[in-house]
Structure 1
Amino acid sequence: MPSRTSSTPRVAVLADSDTRWKWGALTAYRIQPGARLDGFLLRGRATPTVRQLEEVGARAATLREIRGVDFVRTVDRTEYDIVVLSCVGGAVQAMLHGLARSWAGADSRPVVVTGYVGVVYEKLADGLLLRHGADVVLANSRHDADRFRDVYRGVGADGAAVVECALPFLGGAPHTGEGTVGTVVFAAQPSVPESRADRTYLLGRAAEHARKHPDREVLIKLRSKPGEHTTHIEELPYQKLGTKLPGGLPANCRLVYGNMGEVLDRTDLMVTVSSTAALESLHRGIPTAVLTDLGIREALGNHHFLGSGCLASWDELDAGHRPAPDPDWLARQGVAAGGPPSGGGSYESAFDAARAKVTALRTADRLPPLAPYYTPRTAPGYLPQILARHGLDPHGEPLAGHTEPDARTGGLRQVARDTVREAARGAYRHGVQRVAPAIRRWGQL
């Protein structure tokens, strides 16, 4: 069993997409520097590909794909000091119940940490209550920490687990541009906006901006390639829309992939609808525009940027406008405009409280049992379906048919199983990206 005072803690990170793997792994290193990290990728529609993992760049000592029900069995409480659940809310809730059942009556257990991968602009109460029960619920800003505690207080749940920190992937060299714009980056999002018309409009405006400014390079930064999934489903990839854009993309406008931090190294103007990339950009002092062309609406998430000073339209950007962010708004969002200041500024100390809390819990003589707010008594019509999606019954035990571990066998049998699984994923993605939208269109006729 690892020592509770060990100088090299072991951390297990469970993630269900490329962006959540990035958040979970980098958060683990922020709150426990020098830790040994074992990665687990939750098997599902958004399980990241090798290419996506390489693009994210967060490293682990080991990395494997796993079912949720097997993760509950695999995470030996005597082997790990900390478990980071970097998943969608329902998966977090299922793992909390499964781990609580697995560790029931134990003298000691790992510290369980969870949180959000970026801007929280929808399903605030739903997502938070599904995360309740973890020892630490990280809030990426003072703004979020206040909201999180209000939600827990409102249902009579304990909000002591909420700890303010910051997004773990902010950083990079401060922007040094002197008023000129050489490279414009449009940070595309998989599901915002949703409609073909709106997505085609945004792509067209980016291309038009490039034509009006032939001295600029306009980059359409994409999160995934067709067939890959990320945190959200992308039914209408910009890659496909670009092939049908009247006039196509001009020579100085192109689609790019890669690590966002590396793309920001050469960015002079960041444009997005509501991507968390806006916070990365603002942190480095890069002029950042949050588009209003499609309205300021909760469905788009750009309402989160009210008061930021960053709201602007493509027409304004075409005319030379460069938004100036509001310092007070940035401070509440955990963003240090201009990049992390030297000498230990606000961003460097943003993880101090989380690091101290996790270390105190890790070295405590005993931790109380995990106790999520949702139970078969408080949510009998909701909790069972959440847990069942991950092979667990309402009490956190494996359901019939999920009791045997998904052991990996060698040779041809494993190849066959992997082939079938990849074929099933391909069929699912085809259904999501092609068949489902067509059915919705037919339904509107």
Structure 2
Amino acid sequence: MPVPTPSESAGRAVRVAVLADSDTRWKWGALTAQRLVEASGDAVVDGMLLRGRATPTARQLQDTGVRGADVREVTTAEFLAQAGAEDAYDVVVLACVGGAVQAMLHGLANQWQGRRRRPVVVTGYVGVVYEKLTDGLLLRNGADIVLANCASDADRFRAVYAGVGTRTGSVVECALPFLGGAPYAPSDERPYTVTFAVQPSVPDTRKDRLHLLQRAVGHARLYPEREVLIKLRSRPGEHTTHVEELPYQRLADRLPGGLPDNCRLVYGHMGEVLDRTDVLVTVSSTAALESLHRGIPTGILTDLGIREALGNHHFVGSGCLTSWDRLDAGELPTPDPEWTARQGVAADGGYEAAFDVARKRIAELLAEELPPLNPYYTSVTAGGYLPGLLGRYGLTPDGTPNASAGGSAAGLGGAARRVVRRAARGAYRQGVQRVAPVIRRMGQL
């Protein structure tokens, strides 16, 4: 029996708004939107980037691999005005950090007061959920659909919602939207390639990051016939989902003797890097799930311990835990098929039906007259927390945009505002990447 699409339910082309606040969340949000409406040939996806610390550059957007979706930068007030307009969209995908999702839910609830019909609101997580589970879930509560990327996450999400006495029916299991690519096949036409997928904030100390970099370089020197790629998320000065205070590029510049000829720093779309990878190594990056999905040997590093702060505890039971010593010795981890299946990694490499339930649920909701948005956090349940959270996104306690939130640049022209924003971001990034580490080192003297 075919699954109904949103456009079939609505009788016209489905219109989807995607709001994201970083490069990785844009990748998740835009590709999720495309998965949800891919059966609708005339669907329209309208992308918006929430202006802030992690607003991606054009290069970062290119590296996400998202195609066929227009995207522009907006403020909270601009997004709410656009999404709140009558009949503007059928579906709104909130691909943001939890606090931003909660703020937009309250803002949209205010915008849509008294409406007979409103869009379906969808949210979820960009990848592996290994920290702040309850915190993040309650901040996302209130959306019509909270997507879980695998069966394990769906069970955990429902347990949290049931535990606080809110509805669990919003949780819908699907899969990460960027799983795909050609299944792994060794090739004699290129060097055997080991890719180390780094993360912006894990680990977070210079000593630990330098250790991992030195071990990757050491592997390259041990196997001169191999190619070792250090896959980077951003260039110095660019920001992503997490703040990167100690970029690997700067650490590599200071290595005695530099990088060997068969070890390189690389950027680009992760899928394209995986196309030439024979072993993927990381601490806890979601790239591990992309790699496992393709059948690429995948190692989760234990060099710095197995700790919640690193996120590699999430992979306990996966069969992927290893170390650079073991990799140097030629050992390759073997994934546990039951674990990977529970994590949404299709053993056969395909997951065409993974979004069917979500598509069907959206079609059902589009055919209904939806109740007002009703987030778990309100002035009654979290009167000491919610106002400050909303204020950070320029909203008053009732979800109304604060006219004074624009700051001193509010009266400037568009070009002047862009110059001020660029200068402010540059100052922030310099503070995070240069000043803050120096202050911390001074405090340890």
In the TM superposition, 1:109-128 aligns within 5 A as 109-128=118-137
1:422 deviates by 0.6
Q: Distance in 2 between matches of 1:221 and 1:39?
A: 27
Q: Distance in 2 between matches of 1:407 and 1:62?
A: 26
Q: Distance in 1 between matches of 2:392 and 2:186?
A: 49
User: Structure 2: where are the runs of 5+ without partners?
Assistant: 1-6
Q: Distance in 2 between matches of 1:348 and 1:337?
A: 13
Asked if the contact 2:18–2:30 (Cα under 8 Å) also holds between the matched residues in 1, the reply is yes
Query: Could you tell me which residue of structure 2 aligns to residue 229 of structure 1?
Result: 239
**Secondary structure at 1:163's aligned position in 2?**
strand
Q: Distance in 2 between matches of 1:58 and 1:27?
A: 11
Query: Could you tell me which residue of structure 2 aligns to residue 82 of structure 1?
Result: 91
Asked if the contact 2:9–2:364 (Cα under 8 Å) also holds between the matched residues in 1, the reply is no
Q: Distance in 1 between matches of 2:272 and 2:403?
A: 47
Query: Could you tell me which residue of structure 2 aligns to residue 384 of structure 1?
Result: 387
1:6 deviates by 3.0
1:336 deviates by 1.4
Q: Distance in 2 between matches of 1:90 and 1:77?
A: 26
Asked if the contact 1:281–1:287 (Cα under 8 Å) also holds between the matched residues in 2, the reply is yes
CA deviations 1:70-89 (Å, max 9, x no partner) are: 21122124110000000000
| Residue correspondences, number | 433
1:3 deviates by 9.6
**TM-score (normalizing by structure 1):** 0.94
Q: Distance in 2 between matches of 1:47 and 1:422?
A: 11
Query: Could you tell me which residue of structure 1 aligns to residue 18 of structure 2?
Result: 13
AA paired with 1:423? A
1:61 deviates by 4.4
1:400 deviates by 4.2
Asked if the contact 2:146–2:171 (Cα under 8 Å) also holds between the matched residues in 1, the reply is yes
**Secondary structure at 1:133's aligned position in 2?**
coil
**Secondary structure at 1:85's aligned position in 2?**
strand
Q: Distance in 2 between matches of 1:270 and 1:7?
A: 44
Asked if the contact 1:41–1:47 (Cα under 8 Å) also holds between the matched residues in 2, the reply is yes
Query: Could you tell me which residue of structure 2 aligns to residue 95 of structure 1?
Result: 104
Query: Could you tell me which residue of structure 2 aligns to residue 343 of structure 1?
Result: none
1:362 deviates by 1.6
1:181 deviates by 7.6
In the TM superposition, 1:40-439 aligns within 5 A as 40-75=48-83, 76-177=85-186, 182-337=192-347, 339-340=349-350, 347-364=351-368, 366-402=369-405, 413-439=413-439
Q: Distance in 1 between matches of 2:8 and 2:258?
A: 61
CA deviations 1:225-257 (Å, max 9, x no partner) are: 000000000000000000111222110001000
1:96 deviates by 0.1
AA paired with 2:152? H
**TM-score (normalizing by structure 2):** 0.94
AA paired with 1:90? G
CA deviations 1:237-282 (Å, max 9, x no partner) are: 0000001112221100010000000000010000000000000000
1:370 deviates by 0.3
Asked if the contact 2:82–2:88 (Cα under 8 Å) also holds between the matched residues in 1, the reply is no
Query: 142-151 or 435-444, which moves further after superposition?
Result: 435-444
Asked if the contact 2:193–2:277 (Cα under 8 Å) also holds between the matched residues in 1, the reply is yes
RMSD, aligned α-carbons? 1.9
Q: Distance in 2 between matches of 1:38 and 1:407?
A: 25
Asked if the contact 2:91–2:121 (Cα under 8 Å) also holds between the matched residues in 1, the reply is yes
Asked if the contact 1:270–1:278 (Cα under 8 Å) also holds between the matched residues in 2, the reply is yes
1:414 deviates by 2.9
